[in-house]
Structure 1
């Protein structure tokens, strides 16, 4: 058996990949090195930059020997001081959104921030708001309301009859009508003379997750028979089905899906 050594260029490339020495450019990472301030001194930390200049998302540490707790905080990058109370990762991301509405410039020296009444007020109010959110096991801020009045559906009318199935878009209904025109009899009860019209009334309500962790598109409670389509029904029916599926209501028209609900544990749970 003959063993052939790889070309030198490949060997160098493999060694470089295994033992990289090139620093990652700042544009390619959201991570930032900083020093956190504790009562017993300073400690190195790596955090994630946020949309608020001057504030960094960092792991929460505590103890005589500093150890990670599993929670997160917002830290003032220049001073290393805590800005938000220890909370879950999602709650701490929401704290950024909460602070964005306060109009405080956090990218300043510590002395300037300590002398700013708006910064002091934001710090105290965020602490209380986070306590209430954690105590109730709900989001600190909401991305959207949960109830959506679903728009009227499109249906195919043919020979005095109306299709039982409704469609969310004209195009979806047109696809069925087009198939009937091209292949008569392919769709039961459909004929080339079919006409597409929109209902005059809404078919009901849809329910979507209010957390910032869910996108508008992926936040809906879906029909058990059609996993790609939001379930549309009366509020009472949807509330019952959603609750049985692990969704939780937080009042004022806000619900969270099972995945997000697990990220809002109640205090002491």
Structure 2
């Protein structure tokens, strides 16, 4: 099946070619993750553009449905060789999680449909993923968690001068030391050169971070909007209640998702 709608021409080798408002040449494969595949439906095949994945043989595609095919707004994993759906339609975030779920399945999807149908492990994985992803969608939770949410915060570092410990705590020694040096060097600084950096003996409490793959480790913590967006650290009950009030949702004792990620699970 030919997927190219227009006859491609050679891409210009000049910088001007990158700014062409009406390009007539294909983007080199190394500069795009997009790929055209023939998606299978009960009444035949239809061309569709998907995104390559790190699972050989599978591509991430928009879900299409209806008597006259149209996009549903959902996504799925599609087998490149046959065009068959491997995962049930779900949100983009849930479908990306399905890729991670398949990592531990040990199935080689880069085969013909006949080979996959003859492989009991592939058939079992297909059905297990269907029920796992359907269950995650129905309960509004992630299929795969990127991390646990509750973090016991490490003891803080403080500036100590002549036996008096500063009320302000810092996450790293370097941060506290830099502030101590600045205060000593500043005109009228309140610190004396004999100031030392002291570390607390106990944790100040708990932080809460989003467990979804939609958030990065660095940006996943529940922030205090009144304190420059730094993570809120408090007792477990207090930080969980504050997060709930701010639109976070808990899925079990150790996994929460932020409002931005939570909306992708419903």
Say yes or no: TM over 0.5. Answer: yes
Does residue 170 of structure 1 match 2:173? yes
Residue of structure 1 equivalent to 2:209 = 208
Return 191-200 or 176-185, whichever deviates more.
176-185
Give TM-score scaled by structure 2 length. Answer: 0.91
Task: Report the Cα offset of residue 14 of structure 1.
Answer: 8.1
Aligned residues: 252
Residue of structure 2 equivalent to 1:76 = 79
> Aligned Cα RMSD in Å?
1.7
Aligned partner (choices 118, 139, 143) of residue 140 of structure 1: 143
Label 1:264 to 1:46 Cα distance change in 2 as closer, same or farther (>3 A). same
Residue of structure 2 equivalent to 1:195 = 196
Note the residue ranges of structure 1 that are not aligned, 5 or more in a row.
1-12
Label 1:112 to 1:175 Cα distance change in 2 as closer, same or farther (>3 A). same
Q: Give every structure 1 segment of 4 or more consecutive aligned residues whose post-TM-superposition deviation is greater than 4 Å.
A: 13-16
Q: Distance between the aligned counterparts of 2:41 and 2:176, measured in 1?
A: 63
SS at match of 1:227: coil
Label 1:125 to 1:168 Cα distance change in 2 as closer, same or farther (>3 A). same
Q: Distance between the aligned counterparts of 2:139 and 2:18, measured in 1?
A: 52
Give TM-score scaled by structure 1 length. Answer: 0.90
Label 1:14 to 1:74 Cα distance change in 2 as closer, same or farther (>3 A). closer
Q: Distance between the aligned counterparts of 1:102 and 1:169, measured in 2?
A: 40
Return 237-246 or 18-27, whichever deviates more.
18-27
Does residue 220 of structure 1 match 2:221? yes
Residue of structure 2 equivalent to 1:241 = 242
Q: Distance between the aligned counterparts of 2:150 and 2:180, measured in 1?
A: 31
Label 1:150 to 1:83 Cα distance change in 2 as closer, same or farther (>3 A). same
Residue of structure 2 equivalent to 1:112 = 115
Within-5 A mapping of 1:38-57: 38-57=41-60
Provide, for residues 31-82 of structure 1, a one-character-per-residue CA deviation record: whole Å limited to 9, x for no partner.
0111011111111111001110110111111111001100001000010000
Residue of structure 2 equivalent to 1:9 = none
SS at match of 1:261: helix
Note the residue ranges of structure 2 that are not aligned, 5 or more in a row.
1-15
Provide, for residues 89-124 of structure 1, a one-character-per-residue CA deviation record: whole Å limited to 9, x for no partner.
100010000011101000111111111111111100
Q: Distance between the aligned counterparts of 1:247 and 1:16, measured in 2?
A: 43
Q: Distance between the aligned counterparts of 2:18 and 2:82, measured in 1?
A: 39
Label 1:133 to 1:14 Cα distance change in 2 as closer, same or farther (>3 A). closer
SS at match of 1:164: coil
Q: Is the 8 A contact 1:181 1:193 kept in 2?
A: no
Within-5 A mapping of 1:228-267: 228-265=229-266
Q: Distance between the aligned counterparts of 1:160 and 1:37, measured in 2?
A: 74
